[in-house]
Amino acid sequence: MSQALNTNAFIAGSWRRGAGGVFPVYDPASGAEIAQVADCTPDDVSAAVDAASEAFNTWRLKGPKERAAILLKIRDGLNNNKETIATILTKENGKPKGEAMGEVGFAASFFEWFAEEGRRQYGETVPSPAASKRMITVRQPVGVAALITPWNFPIGMIGRKVAAALAAGCTCVVKPAEDTPLTALAFAKVCEEAGVPAGVVNVVPCSRSRVQAVGAALCDSPKVQALSFTGSTIVGKWLYQRCGSTIKKLSLELGGDAPFIVFSSANIGKAVEGAMAAKFRNTGQTCVAANRIFVHESVHDEFVKQFAEAIDKELKSGHGLENGVNHGPIINQRQFERLVKMTDESIAAGAKVVRGGKPGGGLFYPPTLLTGVSGDMPVAKEEIFGPVAPILKFREEDEVVRIANTSDMGLAGYFYTNDIAQAWRVAEALEVGMVGVNEPMVSTCEIPFGGVKHSGLGKEGSLHGLDDYTNIKYICFGV
């Protein structure tokens, strides 16, 4: 793949200018403009949906093995161009180059997984209640899938969605986040070079001012049969309502408010190591980031001491392309100001600053550790989405589980304990879709990723990842 940036939309197998002109993309670490990207309108979306709809007529008829061969070529294209794509990702997202490289590999893993899983879309033979009938089920692709992806994992979430859709036999229209369209367009180039047929994968970037109109066009199109979105709960609710008139299949991976609990029996060193990963990966800008950190009163002081030391020792801020940097900027000014406001209000309400707490230059916010946090402070009530770690002290297991479950979110939860009975009790009691017990890194292509309550609908990855892109058809034979 060429080092040159692809800045045009990718529709029906060709690179096109957006009907709305262009919009700028910036490097959040330096503030410099990186490129001017095609600004797509609902008319462009309509063209992309039409192309996907036409391509579906032939793509759906390809055998699972033939589709798998193309998915594996996409996997190879991602792995072979990992350095180039990671550099683009770091420039427009700000995450450290090492994390970006890992994300490209993460995206590639889904194409390998679903290349294999697509060949196992088994139907069923249903025992008939009547001797004169034979009953079976088959799985069939739903049609065109609209895939709306976030800025915090701009290639990882594309991989997780596109791989499942293509393996199921669907075609797709990808609408990337306005902050990170260049990574999505680099992915489109990989698809083109892998021989993906024209119209099977389409990418339509747009500016923030056109996000709602483009999203509405995808929701309102009767040719779009499935919509998958990763992003905020407020936007997810809007999409959910908007899709009602066309009765689409919906998968929504929305906000998180993950509790991270350290019980008295925990290995404190391991708990600190886990908290560092769960809190500060991608500068805290992940939906599964540890949001509220609950620490038992008997180990509170030791945990805070070791956590502060780890922050000092392990985190280095700077541009993600610089050697040794593992802590980047906040994605944009809007998110930065939101983070500053909630942190300042919590400090004013009595939270004590152990580390950080003061904005750096530009969009950089330092790794921040707060103690003395109460449940009514903003950092304990809202999804932080930044490098601020609030510590809340607790005494009893029942108490902390109850408080952890007060959130209307339910994506991920983490806890550390060496009590096996407690591990089972708490893992089953937490109202979340995914639990890490003595482990902060829970996401891989093999597992069903998704939440409960206001954190969304459906599962991505695993054998269940095909469910949102397929219909089960029942066929009854008279004999």
- Residues labelled catalytic: 253, 287
Nearest Cα to Cα of residue 229 among 142, 157, 284, 168: 157
- The DSSP result for 374-441, as a single string, is -TTSHHHHS---SSEEEEEEE--HHHHHHHHTTSSEESEEEEE-S-HHHHHHHHHHS-SSEEEES-S-
Q: How far is CA 434 from CA 155, 178, 232, in A?
A: 22, 29, 18
Are the C-beta atoms of 432 and 410 separated by less than 8 Å? yes
- What one-letter code names the amino acid at 369? L
Q: Rounded distance, CA 222 to CA 247, Å?
A: 9
Rg over alpha carbons for the chain, rounded to the nearest Å, is: 23
User: In the structure encoding, which two tokens stand for residue 268, read together?
Assistant: 């404190």
Q: To 10 degrees, the CA torsion angle through 463, 466, 467, 471?
A: -130
Q: HSE on the CB side for 192, CA within 13 Å?
A: 18
Q: Rounded distance, CA 229 to CA 175, Å?
A: 10
